[in-house]
Amino acid sequence: MTLTIQRKPVFMSFKSIEQLIETPAWTTKKTPVKCVGVIQETSDVKTFQFEAIETQRFLFKPGQFVGILVEVDGERHNRSYTIASSPSRPHLLQLTIKKEDGGVVSPWLHQNISVGSTIELRGPAGRFNNMDIESDKVLLISAGSGITPMMSMARFWNDTNPSKDVKFLNWVRSVQDIIFRRELALLDANNEQFDLEVICTQPGLTENWLGRRGRINTTTLQDMAPDLKDRVVFCCGPEGFMQQVKECLQQLGFDMASYHDESFDPGGKKKAKLAELAKSTPQIPQVKDATHVITLTQSNRQIDIKESELLLEKLEAEGVLMESACRAGNCGACRVHKVSGATKTQNETGLMDSDKANGDILTCTTKVLSNIILDL
């Protein structure tokens, strides 16, 4: 009989300033981490605090996300979650995750991840961040769990540039749904340049809510941010909410070149919706649908693919573990290096110029036009 002993996890401990400074930076695409803390933010939102098993500093751009691969009931699932912490506090990485009704991964994480648990992170990734986008005065607009990238940005500016003019608008359903409520209030109280406003759309009858109520509209937006046109806007939230924000901004004559949003799908809802749509949509026979071969150098595999198939979907169907998020060519999470071959990419917004020069492609919006070789 084998006796299994559960040892108390040993957390990171620094005994000198030199040791703290000399900690290596986060450079790998796959990073084993262990959970060192869990915070119950609301009834259905938890913050998981992780540190690297091999001590390192988590360096990333505020607004970026990481991928998590978990196995639930024998099936592997890949999800992306925005980093809520700031790289100015690099020894802990925080993921704030809402338990999605009817979801698979987020309920599993809420139930199974506790202090001492270990998982593997992939990333960071994402072009939605406050380092690649220049700004002087900013307006952060969020709803629900879309607050996570905004909190990363707010924490970063508060630590590194407290004189930054930050207006933070956060829409929630009720008082009980305000994520980071105490920390937001503290930022608002301690920093004159940080201006917070929380808006409840459906405050309960027993909640003594004295703040604003209702959904976003041009009148309230203009009232809360009268200098709107002088600001750079960062937005994150449900797809419908972000569409409402864009419509309000356009009606107010805002320069949409200064608008930036996060469009990835952390709960996998968009992927599931597309899958259902594909099942219900009649398939139109392809007149010419040549078949080519994908060669994967790292796994030494060959996969047949038709010209009508998206590269990412084909790789996933063949069991190839892929990082993905927006599935629309915007975030860059599914980037791979193409060694050779002809492909056609519909949208490659998520690629930087250096990525393109290196021969990288985004698998989510790419179709194959010849035999290709991928560094996978």
- Residue 306, classed as helix, strand or coil, is strand
For 53, the token pair is 């098993």
CATH class of the 137-261 domain in this structure: alpha beta
For residue 186, give the H/E element and its range: helix 181-190
pLDDT tens by residue, 107-147: 999 999 999 999 999 878 888 999 999 899 999 999 999 99
Residues 235-243: what's their mean pLDDT?
A: 94
Name the band, by pLDDT with cuts 50, 70 and 90, for residue 5: very low
For 220, the token pair is 């309230």
Q: Say if 22-125 and 291-374 have the same CATH topology.
A: no
Predicted TM-score (pTM) of this structure: 0.80
- Between CA 128 and CA 125 the distance in angstroms is 9
Name the band, by pLDDT with cuts 50, 70 and 90, for residue 62: very high
CATH 3.10.20.30 for domain 291-374: yes
pLDDT tens by residue, 201-235: 988 777 788 889 999 999 999 999 999 999 999 99
Q: Sort 38 into a burial class: Cβ within 10 Å, 0-12 / 13-18 / 19+.
A: middle
Q: Where are the domains of the chain?
A: 22-125, 137-261, 291-374
Instruction: State the pairing for strand pair 93-98/45-52.
Output: antiparallel
CATH 2.40.30.10 for domain 22-125: yes
